[in-house]
Each structure stands twice: as C-alpha cells, then as structure tokens.
Amino acid sequence: MVLRALKVFLFFGTRPEAIKLAPVLQALRSVERIEPVVCVSAQHRELLDQVLQLFSIAPDYDLNLMRPNQDLFQITRSILERIEPVLSSERPDLVIVQGDAHTAFVGALASYYAKIPVAHVEAGLRTHDKYAPFPEEMNRSFIDRVADLHFAPTKNARENLLTEGIAKETVYVTGNTEIDALFLARERVPLVEEPISGKVILVTAHRRESFHGGILRICAALRELAQRRNVTIVYPVHPNPNVRRTVEAELAGRERISLIDPLDYVSFVHLMAHAAIILTDSGGVQEGAAALHIPLLVLRDTTERVEGLQSGGARLVGTDPEKIVAEVNRLLDDKHAYKEMARAKNPYGDGHAATRIVEIIKERFL
C-alpha cells in the first residue's frame, strides 16, 4: 500500500515572506512523504524575484498581481479571486502563511473559506495598537484566529496567543525563521571584505503609517547626521513610489548619503554585518540586527518585536528627528553604551526554527 504524500501549500508574495519561508520549504523538501506546493501572489514583484532566485524556488503557481499604486481593497480582491481556483484544484492538506503581509492575511482567509487547515509561521506578534503597524497588526491577529497551528517565534509571542484564548495545544515556540535564512545567507557572503569608508549607518524605512510625514522626518534626521558627523549613511530605498519620491527629493545628491536600489538578500546581510548602527522600521531587520549584534534604532513608535528592546539591543526612537539624532550621537560618542547594545543577547532564535516547524507538522499530520 502506497501512502499518499502530505500536500503542504506555501503561499507568500513579499520579500520578507519569501526569506522567512525559504528555510521552511527547504526543510519540507527533505521529508519523503511531504509534497510542498509553492504559490506566490507577487505582491512585491521585483523584490520577491530576488529571493526566489537566491533560494532556487520555482513557484508552482504565480498569481502575478502586482500593479502600481494598488490599495488594500484592490489587493484583497485580487488575491481572493486568483487564489480560490488554485486551492480548489490542489486541495492541500495544510496551507502555510508567514507573518503579517496582506498576502498572508488573504491566504489564511481563503483557506478558512475552503476549510483547509492553516499554519501561521511567526504567530503571536502584537503591538496592541490596531493602526500600528497598519494593516499588519490586524492582519496577524486575524490569521491567528483562523490558524490551526501557531508557530510562535518567542515566549512573549506564545503568551500573547494564550492571553487571547488560542488553544495552547496549537501553539509552539520555534524561534524565528529569519535567523535561519540569515545564517544561510551568511554562508554565501564573500570571504574578501571590501573596505567601507567611515562608520556605516544603514537605514531602511518604508512602513505605510510613515507615508504621511514620517519619511520626511526621518530624512530630516539623516540630513543633520550627514552634515555633522563623519559617517556614511546607506539607504536602500524601497520601490514604493510613496517612499521613493520623498526620499529622493529630500536626500538625493547629499554628501555622505548613498541612496541605492534594494539589494539582493545576501548583499543586504553583508551590508548589515558591516554597519555600525542600523535604523529601521522593518520587523525582519530588527531580528537580523539582533543576530548580528548590531545596535538598532527602531523608527517606529511601537514594535511587536519587544524582545529586542528587553534584551537591550534595540531602542525605540520613532520618527522624531531630534530623538533619532540624539540616539545616534549617543552611540557614536559613548563607547560603553555602544558595547552594551552590541553585546545584547539575540532573543530571536538559533537558526533551527524551520526544522522544528517541519517536525511539528510531521507529528501532527503524518
């Protein structure tokens, strides 16, 4: 008697989702009785394709829904319309979504409608403010309500889920697959390290809630730092026109500020590892900086990655130019303060989260 393989459907559409699910896909492929099926929404087309190429992922389905200036209504409608026939055709045993992007939210919603079990990688993250980050906070809350398996990256995330009434037998603390991916990328970093002039401050900022004034305030802080400090500010600018237009208008051509296109993941990890300080509003970068022991300033008023704050490796600065400049100056001028942040323990995992996730799936389904 030949047993049917367990069909596991991975659905993602953004660069962060692809990065964090690549190790899970790799681990699934190593199990003989599991058949992984990959479907991408292409919510981020170019940035997604970089990661697909890096990790040798050839999607079985590509919904290709990226359109200029789509709003949340359009994205939601497009994903639902295009994922329904795929789920109906494949009838997977389990759908895996990751994080809090709109692709994950709508993928979980569609799977719920189709009565297909859902596993949520990176479950339980909360700021407890439904508009920060927007719409990610409510996306992840909804996913966790319909998910059948919750892979929480930390104990804090697990406690959030249990407090909300999620059944404890569905919640597992696995670590974060961002760290798995980062370790895989580090193995591919060239051994010859190119010299970088001055102290490098790496910046990433693209959150939707910062479109109306936040990006402008961040740019003001970067201008002041570039004028007053001997630093090299490197800013890979997100292609979203709401970000790119503002950043280029405010910072293009400024001395000591380098605006570059988004890097492939390996190159970005290489740049993170060479940075003296990282400023970001990204969740994945918060985790990566902790693993690389780079002091981090979070360009948001609140964060769901509270473990970085608790460990001392990260500090919230929001988008207030005075606060950003003051905290960067403190780290540049106070060696003790810098070392304290750099020595903080990484709270996000040991690089084996994907293996744990797949072992749990095997126990529950095989």
Q: What is the CATH number of the domain that holds 61?
A: 3.40.50.2000
Evaluate the CA torsion angle 323, 327, 332, 334 in order and state its sign. positive
φ and ψ at residue 279, rounded to 5 degrees: -115, 125
Answer yes or no: do 354 and 337 share one domain: no
Domain assignment of residue 271, yes or no: yes
User: Which residues, in sequence order, are CB contacts of 74 under 8 Å at separation 6+?
Assistant: 67
Answer yes or no: do 67 and 153 share one domain: yes
Answer yes or no: do 235 and 267 share one domain: yes
Q: Which of 206, 217, 223, 356 is catalytic?
A: 206
Q: Which of 208, 244, 293, 364 is catalytic?
A: 208
Domain assignment of residue 1, yes or no: no
Answer yes or no: do 11 and 73 share one domain: yes
Answer yes or no: do 97 and 145 share one domain: yes
Average pLDDT (82-89) is: 96
User: What's the predicted TM-score (pTM) here?
Assistant: 0.91
Domain assignment of residue 190, yes or no: no
Distance CA(235)–CA(104), nearest Å, equals 27
Domain assignment of residue 303, yes or no: yes
Answer yes or no: do 25 and 153 share one domain: yes
Answer yes or no: do 81 and 135 share one domain: yes
Q: Residue 189: its pLDDT value, please?
A: 62
Active site residue 352: no
Answer yes or no: do 149 and 217 share one domain: no
Answer yes or no: do 74 and 172 share one domain: yes
Active site residue 187: no
> CA torsion 253→258→262→267, rounded to 10°?
160
The 10s digit of each residue's pLDDT in 283-322 is 899 999 999 999 999 999 999 999 999 999 999 999 999 9
Domain assignment of residue 256, yes or no: yes
DSSP state of 148: S
The 10s digit of each residue's pLDDT in 207-225 is 766 667 789 999 999 999 9
In this model, does residue 24 exceed pLDDT 50?
yes
Which domain range does residue 276 map to? 199-342
Q: Domain count for the chain, please give it.
A: 2
The 10s digit of each residue's pLDDT in 125-148 is 999 999 988 999 999 999 999 999
Active site residue 128: no
